[in-house]
Amino acid sequence: MHVLIDELRETHNLPDEAIRQLLETGDGSAVQYLHDSAREISQGAFGRTVKLRALIEWSNVCRNDCLYCGIRRSNTGVTRYTLAKDEILACCEHAWNLGLKTFVLQGGENPAAAKALAPTVAEMRASWPEAAITLSLGELPYDTYALLRRSGANRYLLRHESASPRLYARLHPAEMRLENRLACLRTLRELGYETGAGMMVGAPFQTVEDLVEDLRFLHDFQPDMVGVGPFVPHPDTPLGTSPAGSVSLTLRIYSILRLMLPHANIPSTTALSSLRADARTAGILAGANVLMPNFTPLRVRASYDLYSGKNASGVEAEENLQRIQQELNKIQYSYV
């Protein structure tokens, strides 16, 4: 197994069968070697520092009906909200004053509202010319992606969710097509966005072969960012009684991704932290290099409920940053 890990580290690639073995091995020393190798590469690229991104959950209005997601349109129990321009700008101001230089506007898929966000993005760009502006608003028409890009957004996160057509179809209603999603990812890149993809680990019906397919896709697509977190059931969804994904498998995937994509920005995700108290730093030690503290106003935070426990620790950004700092101190890391 060590030979395979060295090969992955050297060539940033492995045959599918070898990736499957890395995902499945019960050899603890191999897993340790995988994490150690990934951490070395991560520290070589980024030092012992973690990049912070200010997450602003802009709207939970969504036209989609993903079977796993708490804000799916069929969930009538959700109080829907969309932040106004001034609220978004206040979140950015707050984040900037605390030293965060990347704003991530995330929301449900809502093409009309996403288009209407362009003036807000333009104002963000004018107010903070040095900031990175990341959008995560789902599948939008080409013209809207182009408009938002011209308005000043420079990064876009669109998880591919699953590169396996079979699994994609089991997790989404028929009107959602994997081909469309992949076409959106290519468009975003063409438009000059730094582009992020990603998937859940341990989604219902997911097999190890599906994860190999995801990793193969990510290898071939070479995203700038990769968002990966465990599936966490939400009780008000059709998949609400399925078990959560595994923390240790998620960590293993962070390490494989780090060796595959040495310079990619890989967040240690909130979904991971929701499953295990020390998971945030475990993610960093496995090769992730980004944390995304939540700057969404507390007023609406509980409504952005993608999975259960997501906003269990609804604390103000300052407090969250303090906690992050303390956790990073313990592993002799700092944030930038």
* Site residues (vs ligand 5AD, CB under 6 A): 68-69, 159, 161, 200, 229, 231-232, 234, 271, 306-307
Work out how close the CB of 182 gets to ligand 5AD at its nearest, in angstroms, rounded to a whole number. Answer: 14
DSSP class per residue in 73-86: TT-TTS---B--HH
| Closest residue to ligand 5AD, based on beta-carbon distance | 307
Contact 56, 88 (CB under 8 A): yes
Work out how close the CB of 7 gets to ligand 5AD at its nearest, in angstroms, rounded to a whole number. Answer: 30
Work out how close the CB of 120 gets to ligand 5AD at its nearest, in angstroms, rounded to a whole number. Answer: 20
Q: What angle do CA 64, 95, 40 make, to 5 degrees?
A: 85
Task: Return the number of the residue (4 or 56) whose C-beta is nearest ligand 5AD.
Answer: 56
Work out how close the CB of 71 gets to ligand 5AD at its nearest, in angstroms, rounded to a whole number. Answer: 8
Work out how close the CB of 322 gets to ligand 5AD at its nearest, in angstroms, rounded to a whole number. Answer: 26
Token pair of 273 as six digits = 């932290």
Task: Return the number of the residue (232 or 291) whose C-beta is nearest ligand 5AD.
Answer: 232
Distance CA 133, CA 127 (A): 12
Task: Return the number of the residue (232 or 284) whose C-beta is nearest ligand 5AD.
Answer: 232
Cα–Cα distances (Å) from 76 to 71, 216, 306, 310, in that order, read 9, 37, 14, 18
Task: Return the number of the residue (229 or 267) whose C-beta is nearest ligand 5AD.
Answer: 229
Distance CA 234, CA 246 (A): 16
Contact 291, 95 (CB under 8 A): no
Task: Return the number of the residue (108 or 287) whose C-beta is nearest ligand 5AD.
Answer: 108
Work out how close the CB of 11 gets to ligand 5AD at its nearest, in angstroms, rounded to a whole number. Answer: 29
Task: Return the number of the residue (70 or 152) whose C-beta is nearest ligand 5AD.
Answer: 70
Residue 241, exposed/middle/buried by CB under 10 A (0-12, 13-18, 19+)?
Answer: exposed
Nearest residue to 256 (alpha-carbon basis) of 28, 33, 26: 33
Work out how close the CB of 8 gets to ligand 5AD at its nearest, in angstroms, rounded to a whole number. Answer: 25
Task: Return the number of the residue (153 or 203) whose C-beta is nearest ligand 5AD.
Answer: 203
Q: Name the region of 314 (left: φ>0; alpha: ψ -120 to 50; beta: rest).
A: beta
